[in-house]
Amino acid sequence: MSLINPSVRKNYESTTMNDNNKISVGLLIPAISVVAFVATLFNENYLGALFVAVSGLLLWFAFSAVVKAEMPDITGNIVIVFGVLLSLAFFLNYGMDTNIFGGFEFKIEGAVGSLLVLFFTVLLGLLFNNKAEQNKLNQVGSDRTRTVAENMPHIPATDNESGPEFNDDYESDEELEDYYLDYDYDYEEGYED
């Protein structure tokens, strides 16, 4: 039962986005942030690239939460890509330094920090991928059960096959209370050595 006037409902439905539009608009945020990341890298603003990578992923998650959109199946892959971008920017900002002669000096602390960032973002991305696969398996399992039940052949009973016969000699279960199996304990003693 709907409490919304039909003319109002029509306007309401036309102003809301369906899930595919929400996902498509949401995927524009990571795409724009990747372009902004590359632009800041070419400007050698590595701290800005770090900020763009983190804020792009956070804005995407915030947008998906606000519009209540389902996360797409490629969420884990996008998180892994942003982890690579984040670790690259981290390494370029904290793991490399230019010396007075124009060469590069590598800092081991920055390289280790970059690898840690890469490890944890790849781990998070794999968890997202595993969650998407589990959702697919759960959905496929329920669909498979439904299709098997729908495709079961209906075999009508013929005169020869009236189905299983049940013995209704007992009117209630009270008559079965005194029933127990007679176990021959002497049978077991014959096998003892």
Ramachandran assignment for 44, one of left (phi > 0), alpha (psi -120 to 50 degrees), beta (any other): left
Tell me if 145 is assigned to some domain. Answer: no
- Greater pLDDT, 6 or 186: 186
Does a structural domain hold residue 89? yes
Is residue 158 pLDDT above 60, yes or no? no
193 has a pLDDT exceeding 70? no
> pLDDT of 14-25, one tens digit each?
555 677 888 888
Residue 190 inside a domain? The answer is no
Residue 184 within any structural domain of the chain: no
Residues 6+ apart with CB under 8 A from 119: none
Answer yes or no: is 173 within a domain: no
- Number of folded domains that form the chain: 1
The count of other CB atoms within 10 Å of the CB of residue 112 is: 13
Q: What is the domain extent for residue 27?
A: 6-135
Indicate whether 156 belongs to any domain: no
In a domain, residue 31? The reply is yes
Count Cβ atoms within 10 A of the Cβ of residue 57 and give its class: 0-12 exposed, 13-18 middle, 19 or more buried: buried
Do the strands 104-106 and 96-98 form a parallel or antiparallel pair, or are they unpaired? Answer: antiparallel
pLDDT tens-place string over residues 24-33: 888 999 999 9
Reported as a single tens digit per residue, the pLDDT across 124-155 is 999 988 887 777 777 765 555 566 556 666 66
| Domain assignment of residue 161, yes or no | no
